[in-house]
Amino acid sequence: SPAIAALAYHDGEFVPLERALVPVTTQALQYGTGVFEGIRAYVQVDGGLAIFRAHDHYRRLLRSSRTLRIEVGKSAEELCDLTVELLRRIEATEDTYIRPLAYKRALLPGERPGVQLLGVSDALSVNAFRMGSYTDPAGISCSIASWRRPASDVLPVRAKVTGGYVNNALAVDEARAAGHDDAILLNSRGHVAEASTSNVFAVVGGRLVTPPATADLLEGITRDTVVTLAADLLDVATDFHDLGRDDLLNADEVFLTGTGSEIVPVTRIAGRNVGDGVPGPLTTALMTAYQDVVRGKDRRYHHWLQAVHPA
């Protein structure tokens, strides 16, 4: 289990993690009015530590926060610098997971709690903990959730909003209760949206396909990395088009992409083997390419890595 680092950046200062607390009156706790990110830092091939695509994650955090009228009060660059400082202060030397959270804070004492966004003050917290790869390279089993991914006129699904994850939690819970590892959610139109905390790719008739942003999914940074690496390194173009449940059941390969889970082969869906029931060749090639990039082995993508400290 991941060891918790001793420090968090919380309300403008670095404090011991046990002091990074919020009052029970915090609006985000009561109504889910927060936005967050998950970012990874990787031990590099030369022994140093670097954060992968930190700037892209913080740009998404700032976009998410605009939707909820949360003033983070820092630029993406400043957030990157703050994160580097946090990792240096906790003397991180192993693979690390970084969790920034910007949220609507406590209402003033005596104030009537309300669900408004305007006029509620904002807060920022960033914590980090040691976390290596946790997904099974041999592949996982997914259900097709009975819970649908909310439509974009129900929730701002392209923003990474804390309250929206009730939907994801219910889908995972249902999947685990039925003996699966994760859930794939369809959107309200019955097309594949995404998995509980990752995007979905399928290899169908020799082509790499992933649902478009209009399928009510979070546009993952790992999804973008995979599209780029498939084109640059494997000469495989990605088709962005809607996938049905039957497309997944007939696919030769299916895999998930996300910062936390990285690239995960899906070898069973709804109790059936995907292809031969083992990770496919394109999935395996992308998994290798991804590790080479995040660990700084492939110099062409060094611009995606922000050094925390050298070897």
Determine if 64 is a binding residue for ligand PMP (CB under 6 A).
Answer: no
Minimum distance between the CB of residue 281 and ligand PMP, rounded to whole angstroms? 22
Minimum distance between the CB of residue 165 and ligand PMP, rounded to whole angstroms? 7
Run of H or E residues at 176 = helix 165-177
SS3 for 220?
A: coil
Are 196 and 180 in contact by the 8 Å Cβ rule? The answer is: no
- Six token digits for residue 227: 């599209």
Determine if 283 is a binding residue for ligand PMP (CB under 6 A).
Answer: no
Residues 133-192 within binding reach of ligand PMP (CB under 6 A)? 168
How many whole angstroms separate alpha carbon 243 and alpha carbon 215? 9
User: One-letter amino acid identity for 13?
Assistant: E
Contacts of 259 (CB under 8 A, 6+ apart): 38, 39, 40, 52, 57, 220, 221, 222
Minimum distance between the CB of residue 115 and ligand PMP, rounded to whole angstroms? 23
How many whole angstroms separate alpha carbon 193 and alpha carbon 186? 5
User: Which one-letter DSSP state was computed for residue 13?
Assistant: E
Among positions 127, 135, 197, 210, the unique one binding ligand PMP when judged by CB under 6 A: 197
Determine if 223 is a binding residue for ligand PMP (CB under 6 A).
Answer: yes
- Six token digits for residue 261: 């889970």
Which string of x and - marks every residue 110-129 that binds ligand PMP (by CB under 6 A)? --------------------
How many whole angstroms separate alpha carbon 65 and alpha carbon 107? 18
Out of 74, 104, 160, 297, which one is annotated catalytic?
160
74 assigned to active site: no
Minimum distance between the CB of residue 100 and ligand PMP, rounded to whole angstroms? 12
Among positions 38, 48, 163, 275, the unique one binding ligand PMP when judged by CB under 6 A: 38
Which residue, 63 or 89, is less far from ligand PMP as judged by CB? 63
How many whole angstroms separate alpha carbon 47 and alpha carbon 27? 42
Residues 230-269 within binding reach of ligand PMP (CB under 6 A)? 257-259
Which residue, 7 or 182, is less far from ligand PMP as judged by CB? 182
| Position closest to ligand PMP via CB | 220
Strands 13-16, 238-240: pairing is unpaired
Minimum distance between the CB of residue 5 and ligand PMP, rounded to whole angstroms? 20
Residues annotated catalytic, as ranges: 160
Residues near ligand PMP (CB under 6 A) are 38, 168, 194, 197-199, 218, 220-223, 257-259
